């Protein structure tokens, strides 16, 4: 990729970051090298770190993101670990998507560790999302486990059927294999959004505990 192409991508990334209302890009620095976006600087919350990556990946031509953003706390004085733990615990408790009393919360130096067991990956992701949106959190270590039961014998076929039902997915370019409780996705898609959609569909399979999303993103010319 030429330097001129990288400069065009950099301008597009900066515009996309500025366009996203959920991101405070005032202390955010971006660069692009060989199609890889590099993000550095500070944002006020962990969820904005994730949002910045998603925004950069939306730019056509960006193949990957190196996200070195760090979280600066907007509070002075900063929230204590006890306050953060209570906020995360209470928010998870009142979430309609996470069963009550199934997730334990530990906070140390503003790092949240989630443990416990849940039935579905979307519940595990919701608990993590809640923690990431809590002011003062700098990192989330999600150790919540899923049940280790055998997946259905036709799990791969069910996943392929789910791809066929998804209007934004080209299922012809995706190969699915299942080994134990792990789903492996290989092949090619045209965007990072398609790759993420394929991963979510695979996670919807009962008793899947791991998804290896090895899909390559090759934008259509």
pLDDT tens for 158-204 read 999 999 888 778 888 899 999 999 999 999 998 888 899 999 999 99
Higher pLDDT: 148 or 187? It is 187
Cα–Cα distance, 102 to 108 (Å, whole number): 20
Report d(CA 96, CA 91) in Å as an integer: 10
Q: Which residues pair with 32 in a beta bridge?
A: 37
b/e burial code for range 110-119 (CB count within 10 A of at least 16 → b): bebbbebebe
CATH topology assigned to domain 81-142: 3.30.1340
CB 63 within 8 A of CB 217: yes
From 3.65.10.10, 3.90.1300.10, 3.40.190.170, 3.30.1340.30, which CATH number describes the 155-217 domain?
Answer: 3.30.1340.30
Summarised one tens digit per residue, pLDDT across range 27-54 is: 899 999 999 999 999 998 899 999 999 9
Question: Tokens 């789903």 correspond to what residue?
Answer: 183
Distance of alpha carbon 94 from alpha carbon 11, whole angstroms: 41
Chain centre distance of CA 185: 17
What CATH number belongs to 3-71? 3.30.1340
Residue range 63-89: average pLDDT?
87
For 106-130, how does the pLDDT look when each residue is reduced to its tens digit (9 = 90+)? 999 999 999 999 999 999 999 999 9
For residue 153, the tally of other CB atoms under 10 A from its CB is 8
Instruction: Give Cα separations from 138 to 7, 42, 49, 58 (angstroms).
Output: 31, 11, 10, 24
Cβ atoms 202, 196 nearer than 8 A = no
């Amino acid at each position: 990729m030429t330097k001129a192409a990288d400069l065009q991508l950099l301008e597009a990334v900066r515009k996309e970051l500025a366009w996203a209302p959920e991101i405070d890009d005032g202390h955010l620095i971006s660069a692009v090298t060989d199609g890889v976006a590099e993000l550095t600087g500070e944002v006020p919350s962990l969820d904005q770190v994730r949002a910045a990556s998603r925004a950069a990946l939306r730019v056509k031509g960006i193949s990957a993101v190196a996200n070195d953003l760090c979280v600066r706390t907007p509070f002075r004085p900063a929230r204590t670990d006890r306050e953060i733990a209570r906020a995360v615990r209470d928010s998870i408790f009142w979430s309609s998507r996470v069963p009550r009393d199934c997730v334990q919360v530990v906070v140390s130096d503003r790092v949240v560790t989630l443990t416990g067991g849940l039935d579905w990956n979307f519940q595990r992701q919701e608990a993590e999302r809640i923690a990431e949106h809590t002011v003062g959190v700098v990192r989330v270590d999600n150790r919540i486990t899923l049940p280790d039961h055998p997946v259905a014998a036709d799990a791969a076929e069910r996943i392929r059927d789910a791809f066929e039902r998804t209007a934004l997915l080209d299922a012809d370019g995706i190969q699915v294999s299942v080994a134990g409780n792990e789903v492996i996705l290989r092949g090619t898609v045209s965007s990072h959004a398609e790759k993420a959609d394929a991963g979510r569909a695979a996670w919807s399979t009962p008793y899947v505990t791991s998804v290896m999303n090895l899909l390559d993103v090759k934008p259509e010319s």
